[in-house]
Amino acid sequence: MSMRIAALMAGLVLTGCAAVGPDYVRPATPIPGHWHGTTETGKTGQDLAHWWKAFHDPELDRLVTEALAANLDLKKAAARIVEARSQVTYNAAAGLPQLKASNSVNRRLNSFSLGGTGSANPAGGFFGNDSQISNILQAGFDASWELDIFGGIRRSVEAAEAATEAERENLRDARVSLVGEVARDYIDLRANQQRAAVTRANLEAQTETLALTRERLRMGLVSELDVAQQESQLANTEAKLPGYEAAAKQALHALAVLLGREPAALFGRLQREGQVPVADAEPWADLPSELLRRRPDIRRAERQVAEANAKVGVAVADMYPKVSLTAFLGLQNLKMTDFTPVGKSWSLASSVSLPLFNWGKLAASVEGKEAQRDQSVLDYQSTVLNAFKEVEDALVSYAGEQKRRGSLLRAVAASRSALELASDRYRRGLTTFLDVLQTQQTLYQDQNSLVESEAQVSTDLVALYKALGGGWEQAETQ
């Protein structure tokens, strides 16, 4: 039987054989019909792929673009995809015929006994009285092929392909997280810069009040207690400034590292004070069912289930017979200097191995792979539920912080008016200095809270877009 016929027969056998083990079915999970945190569910046209552009901040756009191009974690995730793809090729090659060159040189002694007792061999000669040394040079090709009759190799390829897809989703998830982290750190930077600005403005106003109080003391209109109280107020306000400045620098460090640069690389570019980015449009959430299609961590978890399911098939296939074909085709020479072949050399063989008794090793392997698949199913379901929770939490937080911000806007306006009134009454001697101190403190607290709330509104919006899985599609088209 020639190798061509053997290969043809093997191909026919493989065509009619299904792979053993369970075929993959996507795990079922309950999906809510709508979000409870918003009434805007199901609208279309929202550009989640470029969600950060809703802030209309060119510097934020630039930071996101640079981070997607240079972030080290993204590069590492991309390298893992290459590694996973190589495993697909490695596993697929196991199911294809293997061919390698085979060369050998043998030196052989052949002895022949004539059976007599002549003078040359009086004892009859155990090694014989006629010896011949020959050289055999053999060169050719060895071929082998393990027939994947029961689909173990196909299941291993299926597992490797699912693992590659999971790594691809891992890269996408890393992109989503990276864009969200860049936006959060940028908001944190601008918020701390604004807190510092509010503090400096209050320091300036409180310094003027202190000067006024000292002048009134000199004129004998107030006591030293008023001066001491204002000095204390001024010192307490001043003590908050270094914390805000340090937090802004730390946000700059974090942004630089996300961009794959040294921590101080962005100081010259971003240390100048800027406004907290605020989106100009209200967001909405797609239907919950869309989350399964969009979020990379859910897609990754689903591919990990497919990988674990295929590995069950690999373990099951190990319990079935393995059929291998081997062949050799080459030439032989008797002398190293004689390149004229004296003959052709070939061989063809097949082998079948079947596990009979292994102390339950193979059955235990199948059981273990099934348990790993069940764990991955539970991980997938948990990932889906947590994703729903993250969206609901983000919607609730965003809506609540919007209301808080509106209240704080009114509070700042009222506190500013109160301070003006208290200061005017104090100058005319109609009220005590305590009223001025209290209104100063209240205004400063309200202004700080407003900056904090504005930053939190934007941060909650970032959390919502991240929970919806936005950002990775745009990154793949750059």
Q: How many CB atoms lie within 10 A of CB 321?
A: 11
CATH at residue 416: 1.20.1600.10
Domain membership flag for residue 124: no
Domain membership flag for residue 311: yes
What is the Cα–Cα distance from 418 to 439, expressed in whole angstroms? Answer: 6
Domain membership flag for residue 399: yes
Hunting for tokens 């982290």 — which residue is that? Answer: 181
What are the Cα distances from residue 451, in Å, to 194, 270, 319, 367, 424?
Answer: 7, 19, 66, 57, 27
What lies within 8 Å, CB to CB, of 465 at 6+ separation is 48, 51, 52, 180, 283, 471
Domain membership flag for residue 131: no
Query: DSSP 3-state assignment of 322?
Result: strand
Residue 36 has a pLDDT of 81
Residue 291 has a pLDDT of 83
Q: Which one-letter amino acid corresponds to residue 57?
A: D
What lies within 8 Å, CB to CB, of 308 at 6+ separation is 159, 369, 372, 373, 375, 376
Q: Which one-letter amino acid corresponds to residue 156?
A: S
Q: Is the dihedral of CA 25, 26, 32, 33 positive or negative?
A: negative
In eight-state DSSP terms, residue 48 is G
Extract the tokens encoding 179: 């864009």
Give the domain extent around 417: 3-95+153-319+364-477
Say if CB 457 and CB 433 are below 8 A apart: no
Q: 83 phi and psi, to 5 degrees?
A: -65, -45
Q: How many CB atoms lie within 10 A of CB 476?
A: 12
Say if CB 248 and CB 189 are below 8 A apart: yes
Residue 44 has a pLDDT of 45
Q: 446 phi and psi, to 5 degrees?
A: -65, -40
Residue 41 has a pLDDT of 47
Q: Which one-letter amino acid corresponds to residue 325?
A: L
Extract the tokens encoding 159: 């597992």
Residue 105 has a pLDDT of 72
What is the Cα–Cα distance from 9 to 145, expressed in whole angstroms? Answer: 13
Residue 330 has a pLDDT of 77
Residue 113 has a pLDDT of 55
What is the Cα–Cα distance from 170 to 390, expressed in whole angstroms? Answer: 18
Say if CB 52 and CB 64 are below 8 A apart: yes
Average pLDDT for runs of 10 along the chain of length 478:
41 58 90 73 62 93 95 94 92 86 71 53 50 70 86 93 96 94 96 95 90 87 88 92 95 96 93 90 75 90 96 94 86 59 72 88 94 96 94 92 94 94 87 86 93 95 91 59
Query: DSSP 3-state assignment of 261?
Result: coil
Q: What is the 3-state secondary structure (H, E, C) of 342-383?
A: CEEEEEEEEEEECCCCCCCHHHHHHHHHHHHHHHHHHHHHHH
Query: DSSP 3-state assignment of 102?
Result: strand
Question: In 3D, which of 435, 380, 341 has the Cα closest to residue 139?
Answer: 341
Domain membership flag for residue 275: yes
Beta strands in 113-226 (DSSP E): 130-147
Beta strands in 262-367 (DSSP E): 322-333, 343-353
What is the Cα–Cα distance from 142 to 346, expressed in whole angstroms? Answer: 10
Q: What is the pTM of this model?
A: 0.82
What are the Cα distances from residue 338, in Å, to 110, 137, 341, 371, 478?
Answer: 21, 10, 8, 63, 63
What is the Cα–Cα distance from 419 to 445, expressed in whole angstroms? Answer: 13
Say if CB 233 and CB 437 are below 8 A apart: yes
Domain membership flag for residue 283: yes
Number of domains in the chain: 1
Domain membership flag for residue 297: yes
Residue 470 has a pLDDT of 83
> How are strands ordered across the β-sheet holding 130-147?
98-112, 130-147, 322-333, 343-353
Say if CB 44 and CB 468 are below 8 A apart: no
Domain membership flag for residue 303: yes
Q: 280 phi and psi, to 5 degrees?
A: -100, 5
